[in-house]
Structure 1
């Protein structure tokens, strides 16, 4: 599929244009410059034209190993990967010396370059549009990404480039974070496919190594990394084939304590990460081996469990650990003590820097995903329930005996069960936990969230609680006459 990279200085409206082309508010947008840092891909449509668009970080005149220099190298790499580049300038500011520098760089690369002047609505943008011709990149497309003006002119400029590229045999899957509700429906024999890949979100505190881990998994420097905390801002999705398993990985922004999140941009970043957790199937909670199981780590893991996602705990920076056996024993003890709701979930030690433990991490993810999709036959479930009742009968609160009649599984992803019983409102939580723990052990479902609901058999009676209707006057009169 044809790929278009949107490039330009910071704060010229690249992410706003990206959101306009994909038809969704995927990229974070804010008034301050330099919001975008990673490459974000999306499926764009302009009329009958379909193509892939890449949102890039703002180009800055830096070539060292600073954060700005690394962002520039990542953007230049996106231009090399794309079939064409859309160079965006701010029509209200006009052509700047930095615009001239990057126009020369794009010209030397030899790729097709389209020039767009954004924020061109009104008289303030007219002068900047005419000034853009001095860059020597051909016709200038006047745009207003905020208001949707100039999209027809952009489509006309793109059409010959898209028509010249041979059509792909198989259309690539959408890489947006937005997922239709139908994607989350349960299926008996569901398996990852190219159109519906296995969705994995990597979450954790800032500077835990999430982006480095994803780069190690996919085998390329796709995401921006560095020693600075909080580099990632958007939730970036990456599609790739992980040893034969179609996979979509979500890199999320580091989540700090809510009291420390005061800036609007960080609030947007954390909110974007929470959406990634909601739409993922497996959540990898990445911990720092030096300071594991901090209070924020526990909150993040509990959030994933409450959302009903399969959870894998990964401890990063294991290559720096000296007393590994003692440390591993401490981690397992802390895990069982601090996260009892995830008892049995995989605990994997990895090194995102060296690649150690990547095979074990994939095995744990696939195992957790299979458990998350597990379905228990009704006959086996009721034999199990009879054994649990014989071993430990339910209590009789307020002198009322609770009878558990039968159980059935009503959903998967995560497994959900309903037990039909008398007096469900009196069932103590302790006995529900006893049944949930029994399900985990007897049906080999460690670590995955299990939903258990008690339901009374009389709940489906539509006449329950209704008074008997009075006979009508005519009916009373008729009955009276017959009696006479």
Structure 2
């Protein structure tokens, strides 16, 4: 039987280029607001990453992605629109973020709107770019059809060379643009050796087992050990309500002003992924837009922001739920935590702005009581208190995340699991159902991420929820699984003396 590849994975084709070792060349898309930079970014990336809307200034924080353009791996960066504004204003902070990206660019794609023609802002920033000592390629976007291509020729007046006419929305001219980008990039670095994914799939096919392969006579199945794939970065998402300090926390972890921050709530509009390295290994860290109650979300742009945040949560391995410690645990925080549990993600509760809490002992007890009462399905969730603004206590967060990741990946030997299971049955017998006692036979761990267990027995599917909670709590306490979601699947066996 062929091995089914996990959902979301992609097979490496024979002619697909191998990622080179070391840093990739950086391609930055820049230009004034509403010229189609994010649409072009999505086209070049080959998938929808940045939020796109017919509203100026949608992009506030720069977004990055690794992609392949004409056989060359590049790090592609989308930036906020370039605007003249005071440095301490929101648009001034957005421009400073864009300038930070341009400073590391190997190639700048200066994007203009061919339909609108050359504006004074285009001329101003073209002059500014010529002084930055960075290779610049002029891209005339929204140049659909013959009239658009003719209008693009007006861009010669900017003094940045021949414009490349494209329509990111309709996909026109992108092949020529990718070819031009590949030609202007620095020489390629040596490549590494790709992992043999076919061999890994063959090993997985030999190791995988389904419930149908297991013994139905009551004997525990052999332990399942899946081969490990090459380690990748830990995928970590930072979520929470607006103005909880998520972007400030990300900046503190990175040690740079990567995300735009300020007193205004809701500054982050899109899910922004960055790379981080701690003493253990790489981390892919995603900052998300604030999640409000559904009834308060009206604007289409905010709906897209919320959708991007939820998608980032689903793709993460561990989620840092960031709370404003001065406000305590809000009902919306609990709703987000329940979503994390339903998606099976590991969770760390981050109490930000702890330096502003007056009575810390009282607040700590109030938060602990609320969590214990309202999040019983995530009992033992790790809590870290800190101040992202001053940095006090932030150093405790990533080690706590690593421990939560280990628990989320934990596997329990089948023998130890069933010895505990026998003791649990002796301490508390299964209840009567329809006047007959359930006969539970054995338990095995089907997978980790999150820990998932299968319980076999006669009419096991009829096991009441309170007894299921008894078993889950016992697993959590005995095998050290605090705070992580635990899945318990029930599999009944056929009665050979029954009907049919």
TM norm structure 1: 0.89
Alignment partners' CA distance in 1, 2:225 and 2:161: 52
> 1:358-397 to 2 correspondence within 5 Å?
358-397=394-433
Alignment partners' CA distance in 2, 1:228 and 1:124: 42
Structure 1 residues 292 and 190: alpha-carbon distance in aligned structure 2, compared to 1, 3 A threshold: farther
8 A Cα contact 2:93 2:260, kept in partner: yes
Question: Who is 1:62 aligned against?
Answer: 85
Structure 1 residues 327 and 458: alpha-carbon distance in aligned structure 2, compared to 1, 3 A threshold: same
- 1:191 CA displacement: 9.1
Alignment partners' CA distance in 1, 2:66 and 2:392: 34
Structure 1 residues 45 and 169: alpha-carbon distance in aligned structure 2, compared to 1, 3 A threshold: closer
Question: Who is 2:457 aligned against?
Answer: 421
8 A Cα contact 1:63 1:72, kept in partner: no
Structure 1: gaps spanning 5 or more residues: 173-181, 467-484
Alignment partners' CA distance in 2, 1:69 and 1:170: 41
Q: Does 1:29 align with 2:56?
A: no
Q: Does 1:400 align with 2:441?
A: no
Classify the secondary structure of the residue corresponding to 1:109: coil
- 1:423 CA displacement: 1.7
8 A Cα contact 2:328 2:363, kept in partner: no
Question: Who is 1:348 aligned against?
Answer: 384
Alignment partners' CA distance in 2, 1:79 and 1:170: 28
Question: Who is 1:412 aligned against?
Answer: 448
- 1:324 CA displacement: 1.7
* Deviation readout 1:68-109 (Å, 9 max, x if unpaired): 110011101110011111000000000100111111110100
- 1:151 CA displacement: 2.0
Structure 1 residues 363 and 45: alpha-carbon distance in aligned structure 2, compared to 1, 3 A threshold: closer
Any runs of at least 4 consecutive aligned residues in structure 1 with deviations exceeding 3 A, and if so which?
Answer: 168-172, 185-193, 463-466
Structure 1 residues 378 and 187: alpha-carbon distance in aligned structure 2, compared to 1, 3 A threshold: closer
- 1:46 CA displacement: 2.9
Classify the secondary structure of the residue corresponding to 1:202: strand
Classify the secondary structure of the residue corresponding to 2:415: helix
Question: Who is 1:199 aligned against?
Answer: 235
Q: Does 1:167 align with 2:203?
A: no
- 1:465 CA displacement: 6.2
Classify the secondary structure of the residue corresponding to 2:236: strand
**Largest Rg, 1 or 2:** 1
8 A Cα contact 1:92 1:124, kept in partner: no
Structure 1 residues 190 and 309: alpha-carbon distance in aligned structure 2, compared to 1, 3 A threshold: farther
* Deviation readout 1:133-189 (Å, 9 max, x if unpaired): 111111111111112222233234223322x335266699xxxxxxxxx9xx99868
Question: Who is 2:155 aligned against?
Answer: 132
Classify the secondary structure of the residue corresponding to 2:494: helix
* Deviation readout 1:243-262 (Å, 9 max, x if unpaired): 23210001010000101101
TM norm structure 2: 0.86
Question: Who is 1:52 aligned against?
Answer: 75
Question: Who is 2:333 aligned against?
Answer: 297
- 1:59 CA displacement: 1.1
Higher helix share: 1
Classify the secondary structure of the residue corresponding to 1:433: helix
Q: Does 1:217 align with 2:253?
A: yes
8 A Cα contact 2:69 2:182, kept in partner: no
Structure 2: gaps spanning 5 or more residues: 1-23, 195-203, 209-223
- 1:326 CA displacement: 2.3
- Within the candidate set 55, 58, 63, 1:40 is matched to 63
Question: Who is 2:97 aligned against?
Answer: 74
> 1:216-255 to 2 correspondence within 5 Å?
216-255=252-291
> 1:2-13 to 2 correspondence within 5 Å?
2-13=25-36
8 A Cα contact 1:94 1:127, kept in partner: no
> 1:271-310 to 2 correspondence within 5 Å?
271-310=307-346
Q: Does 1:103 align with 2:118?
A: no
**What number of residue pairs does the alignment pair up?**
450
Structure 1 residues 373 and 187: alpha-carbon distance in aligned structure 2, compared to 1, 3 A threshold: farther
Structure 1 residues 102 and 431: alpha-carbon distance in aligned structure 2, compared to 1, 3 A threshold: same
8 A Cα contact 1:90 1:128, kept in partner: no
* Deviation readout 1:388-413 (Å, 9 max, x if unpaired): 11111011122111111111111110
Alignment partners' CA distance in 1, 2:498 and 2:179: 66
Alignment partners' CA distance in 1, 2:410 and 2:486: 11
Classify the secondary structure of the residue corresponding to 1:278: helix
Alignment partners' CA distance in 2, 1:309 and 1:380: 25
Structure 1 residues 158 and 126: alpha-carbon distance in aligned structure 2, compared to 1, 3 A threshold: closer
